[in-house]
Structure 1
Amino acid sequence: MLFQKLILVISSACILPFGNASPVAADKSQSQYGRPFIHPGALHTKKDIERVKGHVRAQEQPWLRAWQHLESTKLAQATWVPTPQSILVRGRSTTNASVPSENYGYAYRDAHSAYQLTIRWLIGGNETYADRAVVILNSWASKLVDIQGTEDKYLAAGLYGYQFANAAELLRTYRGWAYSDQRAFGVMLNDVFAKYSRDFLDHHNYKPDFYYANWDLCNIACLMSVGIFNENRTMFDFAVDYWKNGLPGDSSVVVNGALPYFSIANYTEEGSGKTLMQHQESGRDQGHSLLCMALVGVIGQQGWNQGVDLFSTFGRQILNAAEYVAKYNTNHTVPYTPYTSWEGLLPVVSPKSRFDARPGYELLHSHYAELESRNASWSKDYRDYVNGNISANVEGGGGDYGPNSGGFDAFGHGTLMYRLQKE
């Protein structure tokens, strides 16, 4: 059947201001940013897909190698069997025996599989992969009702919420995904993932100025992507404004993932004159520092594809932070200003997890260096370092960076999906 424009019904579990006590149609009015939603329009657009498809069909590099790498991965196979859960658990409670054991690995593996399978369909044209992605998403929509665990449940909401929503946004044009099933998936995104993301951003688990930036960033990314899929302007605009300004109406609340708080110090690099920005997790460890960069890339890209330029916000803070983090993680010295977190004084830029290989820099370098022709030389160096960890010399994705959650926090496959210039 022909694809019908998706109009989702937001159910009663949605917290204000995203809905009310009765089912209502999603707000489809134009936002303050002046344009209707574009679909697909979270991490990738139709134009992006056509560009990548053209490169692969022409057997151009590096896209052909990146495509072949995607084809070879375990999660991108039509034989993948999803494992949906009724209650998603991250963080094992030591005080409440009724909370089930942790099972969040099922969510990130299935979300990555749905994304990779959908990419294989969009680029390669084989509907077998789209059919399997439909099975994955429908299985979660029909079963998941809640997220539990320790405070880590908010990480599950943000990370797997933005990932499931992005997979769904790409699959929404597939004629084999029934309108009723898309609607059910949108309700699940709203009533489970977005609910917890909004709760965290509003209250921070009632522990002010406690959580590091990545907690805010993943939940902002979730609300943006769910807002796009569900055509919920209120949700999308709230997330964008929150990232730019912090908690609406209360500037006294410290929001470490919002740009005014994310920036700790700015430095002018000798020689290049570029700005390097130390961010809120620079003194914690480099694994989380790199996670923050992957997440701000997601936020920037999701805004960009909806006509909202977050990449240039506050003097291009995303670029400035990306260069600082990349420079340090390619074995160079960076300036540092001591600051405090809930753990106390963080006296030096943390060497912990330095030189970790994390996906995300293909997106960042592509936007700033290839699209905008800006100096992102350290980002290129780190991008190349990460790509060098894969035999095909491309950015990998879920399953390529270990079995644990940190290797699944970003979709990756950026050489295929974001690279603009030929080798």
Structure 2
Amino acid sequence: MSRHSTRRAPTHRLSRRSLLGLTGGLAAAGAVGGAAALFTGVTAGAAPAVFTHPGMLHAYGELNRAKVRVAAGNDPWLAGWQRLTANPHAQSTWTPNPRETVIRGGTGENYGTLYNDIHAAYQNALRWKIAGTTAHGDCARDIINAWSATLTGITGNADRFLAAGLYGWQFANAAELMRDYPGFRLDAARTMLKNVFHPLNEQFLTGHNDACITNYWANWDLCNMASVMAIGILCDDAALYDRAVDYFKNGAGNGSIKKAVPFVFGGADEGLAQWQESGRDQGHTMMGMGQMGAICEMAWSQGDDLYGYDDNRFMKAAQYVAKYNLGQSVPFTTYGWGTGQNCAYREHTVVSDISRGQVRPVWDMLHYHYARRRGLAVPYITAMAEKSRPEGGGGDYGPNSGGFDQLGFGTLLYAK
């Protein structure tokens, strides 16, 4: 599968390959970000010759807009910025604590050290990108460099695959923001991610820990897909990037779009679609909004529209999740799946009210994409975004790992 991407203007088509040819090198990243505001959608077209950088959760346009708006004191960007600067992880005095081996699940768990340091690196990188403060740039650089030079393995029980997925895509996003910073060891970060994170990502997507293909919830696939995509972008590795896009569309596991969103409703419930974990609980369901949202946003930065794939299937699922968590009723189709190694049958017959109404920083990215970039009516997503605004990040939603499943700060970075 080749990587295809064009953004379509009202009177002509201009691909990222064309933009790169016109402007060249790193300048193209800025041109693409600026040009994105002129285009109304994404369609399939010619594969870009090179990757756009920065080109994951934040392309040049998003970062530049946040910089300009914060400097001007405009809300909601300023409110989002104040949420960032108040976070303990965003302080330039943060000291990294790298480990050779990270353990998630079982005896000797220490993975909290990794996710706290990743979020500190990311938040300090944002402060450098938006305010230009070198102390924060130095801090982000030093955290990533320290882990790149130290980490050699991720282990534990099955949860090691969650660690490899979640922290792989998050680490790569922090590194992407720092890739041109003085003293930043990009090659070391690339090597560590390919040697430590990617093998576990691929092992899970290929073998699913030797379990029934439907045993693991959508989020397990999604975080590993996101990691493969992010590592591919950071490393300019088209094969990895294409692997993630292909899995999104055609994968056998529950992270592929038609498995993660198994039922699309019509009739009176037109515009809604059931999420795979909706019968489990709402915390993990909202986590899924963040994981699939991250995949779609990273692909968008490279010119691929996964947000709108299969007639906006993800949008319909996000509307469904938002509507239910706003306290309204939604339809539910019995969802059955196989568990364990022998695929023992289980089913959900009703939507779960566990953790209903939980707030996670996942909604502004979805709202500003569908409602502003695309100009679509997404009233439930919009209402959830308004309820959650201004969004914070890791450290603002409790000390446990669930509060670090998303990088956050969508109000600051995606407001339009």
Tell me the TM-score normalized by structure 1: 0.84
Structure 1 distance, partners of 2:211, 2:47, is 32
Work out the CA distance in 2 between the residues paired with 1:333 and 1:47.
Answer: 38
Counterpart CA distance in 2 for 1:256 and 1:182 is: 33
2:199 maps to a residue whose letter is K
Conserved in 2, the CA contact under 8 Å of 1:327 and 1:333?
yes
Aligned structure 1 segments of 4 or more residues deviating by more than 4 angstroms: none
Which residue of structure 2 aligns with residue 84 of structure 1? 98
**Displacement of 1:274:** 4.4
Secondary structure in 2 matching 1:173: coil
1:35–1:307 CA contact under 8 A, matched in 2? no
Whether 1:56 aligns to 2:70 is yes
The percent of aligned pairs where both chains have the same amino acid is: 43
1:194 and 2:194 are equivalent in the alignment: no
> 1:14 matched to which residue of 2?
none
Matched positions, count? 367
CA deviations over 1:53-96 (Å, ceiling 9, x no partner): 11111111111111122111100001111111111100015xxx
Residue 238 of structure 1: aligned partner? 243
> Does the CA-based 8 Å contact 1:276-1:323 persist in structure 2?
yes
For 1:229 and 1:185, how far apart are their aligned partners in 2? 9
* 1:227 positional shift: 0.5
Q: Is the 8 A contact 2:257 2:314 kept in 1?
A: no
Matches of residues 372-391 of structure 1 in structure 2 within 5 Å? 372-387=374-389
CA offsets per residue over residues 381-411 of structure 1, 9 Å max, x none? Answer: 1112222xxxxxx011111100000010001
Check the 8 A contact 2:261/2:314 in 1, yes or no: no
Tell me the alpha carbon deviations over residues 112-162 of structure 1, each in whole angstroms, 9 at most, x when there is no partner.
Answer: 111100000010011110101111001111110011000000000000000
* Superposition pairs of residues 385-400 of structure 1, within 5 angstroms: 385-387=387-389, 394-400=390-396
Cα deviation for residue 33 of structure 1 reads 3.5
Give the corresponding residue for 2:407.
411
* Residues 100-179 of structure 1: pairs in structure 2 closer than 5 A: 101-177=108-184
Consecutive unaligned residues of structure 2, counting only runs of 5 or more, are 1-24, 27-44, 340-344
Could you tell me whether the CA contact under 8 Å between 2:286 and 2:360 is conserved in 1? yes
Residue pairs, 1:226-375, within 5 angstroms: 226-246=231-251, 254-268=252-266, 270=268, 274-341=270-337, 342=339, 344-375=346-377
Q: What do the CA deviations read for 1:5-36 (whole angstroms, capped 9, x no partner)?
A: 8xxxxxxxxxxxxxxxxxxxxxxxxx973442
- Deviation for aligned residue 1:176: 3.5
The whole-number CA distance in structure 1 between the counterparts of 2:267 and 2:167 is: 37
1:217 maps onto 2:222 in alignment:
yes
Secondary structure of the structure 1 residue equivalent to 2:330: coil
Residues 1:269 and 1:127: Cα distance change in structure 2 (over 3 Å): farther
Unaligned runs of 5+ in 1: 6-30, 94-100, 247-253, 388-393
- Is the CA contact 2:281–2:354 (under 8 Å) kept in the aligned structure 1? yes
SS at match of 2:408: coil
- Given the alignment of the two structures, is residue 47 of structure 1 paired with residue 52 of structure 2, yes or no? no
* TM-score between the two structures when normalised by the length of structure 2: 0.86
Residue 43 of structure 1 contacts residue 305 of structure 1 at CA under 8 Å; is this kept in 2? yes
CA contact (8 A) 1:395 1:412 kept: yes
Residue 5 of structure 2 is matched in structure 1 by: none
CA 59–269 in structure 1, closer or farther in 2 if over 3 Å, else same: farther
Q: Secondary structure at the match of 1:88?
A: strand
Query: Matches of 1:347 and 1:331 in 2, distance apart?
Result: 19
Q: Compare the two structures and name the one with the higher helix fraction.
A: 2
Please report the RMSD computed on the Cα atoms of aligned residues, expressed in angstroms. Answer: 1.5
